[in-house]
């Protein structure tokens, strides 16, 4: 079953590329997010920035599925062009 996209309030772009690690249960994913990647601020309690543009990940991989459903976290200090 496909999940519904969480509404977002702002968009921004990463300033620098960075290595991200995020865990889904016991699975740990490591990925390098390129500079200039579009990110979004998710609404709700515990607002957080996550990668919105996943074009740098193979869409057939488990990593893509987890990143799409749970989000790759981004530090707000690594964002520019917030709109």
Tokens of 59: 């869409």
Name the pTM for this structure: 0.85
What lies within 8 Å, CB to CB, of 5 at 6+ separation is none
Cα dihedral: 69, 73, 64, 24 (round 10): -60
Query: What tokens were used for 78?
Result: 């690594």
Indicate whether 29 belongs to any domain: yes
- Per-residue pLDDT band for 76 (boundaries 50, 70, 90) equals very high
**Within a domain: residue 2?**
no
Number of structural domains (the chain) is: 1
Give tens-digit pLDDT for 2-30: 445 566 689 999 999 999 998 988 999 99
Q: Kindly report the length of the chain.
A: 83
Is residue 1 over pLDDT 50? no
**The pLDDT value given to residue 46:** 83
Nearest to 34 by CA among 23, 21, 49, 19: 19
The two tokens of residue 7 are 């509404």
Structural domain of 33: 8-80
Does the residue 59 lie in any domain? yes
């Amino acid at each position: 079953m496909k999940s519904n996209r969480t509404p977002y309030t702002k968009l921004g772009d990463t300033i620098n590329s960075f290595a991200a690690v995020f865990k889904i249960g016991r699975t740990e994913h490591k990925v390098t997010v390129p500079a200039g990647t579009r990110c979004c601020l998710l609404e709700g309690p515990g607002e957080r920035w996550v990668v919105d543009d996943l074009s740098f990940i193979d869409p057939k991989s488990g990593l893509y599925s987890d990143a799409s459903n749970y989000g790759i976290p981004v530090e707000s200090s690594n964002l520019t062009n917030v709109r």
